[in-house]
Structure 1
Amino acid sequence: MRITIDIELCTGAGQCALVAADVFDQRDEDGIVALLQPGPPAEAHDAVRQAALLCPTRAIRVAE
């Protein structure tokens, strides 16, 4: 799995950080997503997929 983020689309809703906190965080200064693990371990894959689905702006892209 490979994750990419379009930070221009991110509005800082934070759903990704809530669902997959080991993979996503939010920048302190503006709340925009910060990708902690662009290639997360297998046990995080379901949470990453869920985070991508919950993102209101579809800023998270997942390649299997």
Structure 2
Amino acid sequence: MKKFNTAFAVIIILLITLGISWGLVVGLIKLITLCFGISFKLSYATGVWLIILLVKQMLCKKDK
């Protein structure tokens, strides 16, 4: 049961950090679109966030 609680806590923390990351990126894109008068779509902002995560994952150096 302790392993389940630990795994559940790790998943919750991961979801919270991804949610904060998503919110910051979407908010930043919203501000940029407001400044330049470009229409804002949540789906595009989410796509940019996903691309950022993928690029970060590919470029991250693994120390082993």
Shorter-normalised TM-score: what interval?
Answer: under 0.3
Q: Which has the higher contact order (CA 8 A, sep 6+)?
A: 1
Higher strand share: 1
Greater C-alpha radius of gyration? 2
Q: TM-score, normalised by structure 2?
A: 0.28
